[in-house]
Chain A
Amino acid sequence: MSETTTTNTTRGQLTAINDDYTARYGFHDPEDYFLKAPKGLNHEVVEMISRKKNEPDWMRAVRHAALDTFRAKPMPRWGDNESLDSIDFENIHYYIKPKGEQATDWNDVPDQIKKTFDRLGIPEAERKFLAGVTAQYESEVVYHSIREDLTKLGVIFMDMDSALREHPEIVRKWFGKIIPTGDNKFSALNTAVWSGGSFIYVPKGVKVDIPLQAYFRINAENMGQFERTLIIADEDSSVHYIEGCTAPTYSSDSLHSAVVELVAMDRAHIRYTTIQNWSVNVYNLVTKRAHAYTDSVVEWVDGNLGSKLTMKYPAIVLKGERAHGEVLSIAFAGHGQHQDAGAKMTHAAPNTTSRIISKSISKDDGRSSYRGLVRVNRGATGCKTSVECDALLIGENAISDTYPTMDVAESDVRVEHEARVSKVGEEQLFYLQSRGLDPDKARLMIVNGFIEPFVKELPMEYAVELNRLIELEMEGSVG
């Protein structure tokens, strides 16, 4: 087994990865839209989006102000500058509305779009194990459903645009309160041109025991998708929300920039699971933050595959005593990809606890960065936090870096921090090979083992799906 053979195999796999993504997720429908905004970002586009949606004046004002904020804010300079600077904001469609009205029955969804979601397995998943689904295609949610018993209990699950119409008071109360417009350049961009996304309200004491899911699909070339999600779990309630996303493979870039705001009231429990699998031409720049009140629990379970550049640091502000926050994430960076992901945890109340587990895999010339901030505010006594970063490198050119920051203003805080970088070990490979496993299979087994602590947090169906995605990334062929 010489060095050269190994390299050749890897190269062979690389081509195969793209082939496979294209077949499974990277396909696209012919473009047939009700409305497609011309490329470019300006006040006319913002105005047009808001008018088409028949929005109240306050929202329109928020959007315009946000565009100014976006323009005024410089690009962040602490990340992958080269990649960020290559985004051409004038070469993006900021709003595309597919044909047809939002449906509550898959049969009412336009054929082509229904076929796409069929192919992605969404209706099937809904039948099998979901309590509610929204499916977003380009800028708009084209399908939405929620189990009737949940509606009777007062649970609201709909797209954000509908929520603005039907529950204006709740939306106005919370919109942009967790993540203000000017939080960062991309939250400002999202606020200016947002469309779609999910709105969830779970009333006091209601436990939604089966996950709600949203699926985000980009279809057009040079598309910008800017969904906006707001989840409010009232006192003593609980909810598990799952989002998935894919896009076609194009040679030119698309942009996905979401804002997700969560509020967990006293004793509420929110788990937010993401399995993103963008094609490698998508910039994925997402802002996610939660406010966690007394005795509440918020968990971000974040799986980042695909995309050209992902920058995402799910945040939790532990605002009430004994609130608990967790960010559990994996990132897989293959050829030409940079996963810049991490977590932000702010202990703003006494006796709050948090845990961050970040696992990254870099393969070929892929790069994974962990960027994390744990802050313990003055007055937040008796807090506990642990951070664990694990990086796995496959191949000689793979890159991993970690930027952990701790900012602790109190003295009686228990802080644990662990960071490890390992290579897919020659001894592990040899051990598995000596039992008859070929090198590809052996490597896949080691990688799947590495992410097992993440996978076992997923509902079974998603665990299976994720293992399959990893297999796709590793082998380039799925049985």
Chain B
Amino acid sequence: MSDALLNPANPANVFACRNLHVFVKDGDQEKEIVRGVDLTVQRGQKHALMGPNGSGKSTLAAALMGHPSYRVEGEIWLNGERVDALEPHERARRGMFLSFQYPVAVPGVTVANFLRASLAARRGTEIPVRAFRQELNEAFATMGIDPSFITRYLNDGFSGGEKKKLEILQMLLLKPAFSLLDETDSGLDIDALKVVSDGINQASGPDNGLLLVTHYQRILNHVQPDVVHVFMSGRLVRTGGMELVTALEERGYDWLTDEAAVAEGSRT
């Protein structure tokens, strides 16, 4: 990458973080989960993030979105602007999006009401009912979700696959600049995986970027990431292309553990 592109404020970059550390409360002490991450996503790029269970991927994604239970050090950039001091809704309005690994249910709130409110917040203006219906119908068709879901309560009693589809449906509607997709492929059957991947691809364009967290190659075959990162114990330990994915499928993470340990040793 050229030096200019390393500048997080460069308009060619849609997202960047610098020296990012994330801490959680652990009794009266703190535990460091993300331990210094530098990442730059250029417009039009898709990045994949793979790493073992418990390595801190979800923590990284939630912290980037501004989850209140984490203390964060370092810089977070979105569209050339620092957003690390902003609340989650302010980041969302500026175009950050998080597809949750485990979307929560909000009983009593209909999908339609929720989507309309989200859309209004993102666009900064109320959406006329008819225009909203139109958009909604299209998005539901794209995601293969039955239109009857608009009157269901948000994620309440949804199957795992239905939740994930609704996450990507939101991505399609909200048109984020930068999306964090946390294991959006987990728990999907083969057809649903195709629908979800197509949705992600449709929502991606030359102006925006995404970071896709996954354990599996199959979604990456659909989404075709430009860059693949391996994340272990709170750090990016390797960056490459699809060949990294193949290597991981064959060999697991162990061979990288040793390298990570070496890297760790060399830091101290």
Contacts of A437 in B (CB 8 A): 89, 117-118, 121
Contact B106 A446 (CB under 8 A): yes
B88-107: CB near A (< 8 Å → 1, else 0) gives: 11011100011010011011
- 14 A-B Cβ contacts within 8 A? A428-B104, A428-B106, A430-B62, A430-B65, A432-B118, A434-B65, A434-B100, A436-B89, A436-B122, A438-B121, A439-B89, A442-B89, A450-B107, A452-B107
Known: A433-B87, A434-B88, A435-B92. A425 touches B104 (CB 8 A): yes
Contacts of B117 in A (CB 8 A): 435, 437, 441, 445
**CA A433 – CA B170 in complex, angstroms?**
13
Q: Closest CB-CB distance, A317 to chain B, in whole Å? A: 32
The CB with the most chain B CB atoms within 10 A, among A436, A442, A450, A452, is that of A436
Residues of A participating in the B interface, judged by any CB pair closer than 8 Å: 1, 425-428, 430-439, 441-442, 445-446, 448-453
**CA A441 – CA B93 in complex, angstroms?**
14
**Interface status of B109 (Cβ within 8 A of chain A):** yes
Known: A1-B68, A445-B109, A449-B107. A435 touches B87 (CB 8 A): no
**Interface status of B223 (Cβ within 8 A of chain A):** no
**CA A427 – CA B68 in complex, angstroms?**
10
Contact B121 A436 (CB under 8 A): yes
Contact A430 B88 (CB under 8 A): yes
Contact B68 A430 (CB under 8 A): yes
For window 69-127 of B, CB contacts with A under 8 Å fall at 69, 87-89, 91-93, 97-98, 100, 103-104, 106-109, 113-114, 117-118, 121-122
**Interface status of B67 (Cβ within 8 A of chain A):** yes
Known pairs A430-B65, A435-B117, A439-B87 / 10 extra A-B pairs, C-beta < 8 Å? A1-B88, A426-B69, A432-B106, A434-B66, A435-B114, A435-B170, A436-B92, A438-B121, A445-B106, A450-B107
Please tell me which one of the listed residues B65, B66, B108, B114 contacts residue A450 in the complex, with CB atoms under 8 A apart: B108
Please tell me which one of the listed residues A1, A425, A446, A448 contacts residue B87 in the complex, with CB atoms under 8 A apart: A1
Contact B109 A448 (CB under 8 A): yes
Please tell me which one of the listed residues A431, A436, A438, A453 contacts residue B100 in the complex, with CB atoms under 8 A apart: A431
Contact A449 B88 (CB under 8 A): no
**Interface status of B174 (Cβ within 8 A of chain A):** yes
The residue of chain B having its C-beta at the shortest distance from the C-beta of A456 within the complex is B108
Please tell me which one of the listed residues B66, B67, B108, B118 contacts residue A451 in the complex, with CB atoms under 8 A apart: B108
Residues of B participating in the A interface, judged by any CB pair closer than 8 Å: 62, 65-69, 87-89, 91-93, 97-98, 100, 103-104, 106-109, 113-114, 117-118, 121-122, 153-154, 170, 174
The residue of chain A having its C-beta at the shortest distance from the C-beta of B117 within the complex is A437
The CB with the most chain A CB atoms within 10 A, among B92, B97, B103, is that of B92
Contacts of B121 in A (CB 8 A): 435-438, 441
Contact B114 A436 (CB under 8 A): no
Contact A435 B69 (CB under 8 A): no
The CB with the most chain A CB atoms within 10 A, among B88, B92, B153, B154, is that of B88
Contacts of B92 in A (CB 8 A): 433-436
**CA A431 – CA B156 in complex, angstroms?**
14
Q: Closest CB-CB distance, B176 to chain A, in whole Å? A: 10
**CA A435 – CA B95 in complex, angstroms?**
10
- Give chain A's interface secondary structure class: helix
**CA A433 – CA B68 in complex, angstroms?**
11
The residue of chain B having its C-beta at the shortest distance from the C-beta of A454 within the complex is B108
**CA A434 – CA B91 in complex, angstroms?**
8
Q: Closest CB-CB distance, B92 to chain A, in whole Å? A: 4
The residue of chain B having its C-beta at the shortest distance from the C-beta of A435 within the complex is B118
Contacts of B107 in A (CB 8 A): 449-450, 452
Please tell me which one of the listed residues A427, A438, A439, A453 contacts residue B104 in the complex, with CB atoms under 8 A apart: A427
**CA A431 – CA B114 in complex, angstroms?**
11
**CA A435 – CA B90 in complex, angstroms?**
9
Contacts of B170 in A (CB 8 A): 435
**CA A462 – CA B89 in complex, angstroms?**
31
Q: Closest CB-CB distance, B146 to chain A, in whole Å? A: 21
Contacts of B68 in A (CB 8 A): 1, 426, 430
**10 shortest interchain CB distances as A-B pairs:** A449-B108, A436-B121, A452-B108, A449-B109, A435-B118, A433-B88, A436-B92, A433-B89, A1-B68, A436-B122
Q: Closest CB-CB distance, B168 to chain A, in whole Å? A: 13
Q: Closest CB-CB distance, B153 to chain A, in whole Å? A: 7
Please tell me which one of the listed residues B93, B113, B153 contacts residue A436 in the complex, with CB atoms under 8 A apart: B93
**CA A1 – CA B65 in complex, angstroms?**
12
Contact B114 A445 (CB under 8 A): yes
Q: Closest CB-CB distance, B80 to chain A, in whole Å? A: 20
Q: Closest CB-CB distance, B240 to chain A, in whole Å? A: 30
Contact B174 A1 (CB under 8 A): no
**CA A431 – CA B115 in complex, angstroms?**
12
Contact B89 A431 (CB under 8 A): no
**CA A427 – CA B103 in complex, angstroms?**
9
Contact A435 B106 (CB under 8 A): no
Please tell me which one of the listed residues A425, A433, A438, A453 contacts residue B108 in the complex, with CB atoms under 8 A apart: A453
Contacts of B106 in A (CB 8 A): 428, 431-432, 445-446, 449
**CA A453 – CA B153 in complex, angstroms?**
11
Contacts of B98 in A (CB 8 A): 434
Contacts of A438 in B (CB 8 A): 87, 89, 121
Contacts of A430 in B (CB 8 A): 62, 65, 67-68, 88
Q: Closest CB-CB distance, A233 to chain B, in whole Å? A: 31
Q: Closest CB-CB distance, A9 to chain B, in whole Å? A: 11
Known: A426-B69, A436-B121. A431 touches B103 (CB 8 A): yes
Contacts of A445 in B (CB 8 A): 106, 109, 113-114, 117
The residue of chain A having its C-beta at the shortest distance from the C-beta of B113 within the complex is A445
The CB with the most chain A CB atoms within 10 A, among B97, B100, B109, is that of B109
Contact A435 B174 (CB under 8 A): yes
The residue of chain B having its C-beta at the shortest distance from the C-beta of A431 within the complex is B104
The residue of chain A having its C-beta at the shortest distance from the C-beta of B89 within the complex is A433
Contacts of A439 in B (CB 8 A): 87, 89
**CA A428 – CA B153 in complex, angstroms?**
13
**CA A292 – CA B179 in complex, angstroms?**
58
Contacts of B108 in A (CB 8 A): 448-453
**CA A140 – CA B66 in complex, angstroms?**
57
Contacts of A426 in B (CB 8 A): 68-69
Contacts of A452 in B (CB 8 A): 107-109, 153
Contact A1 B109 (CB under 8 A): no
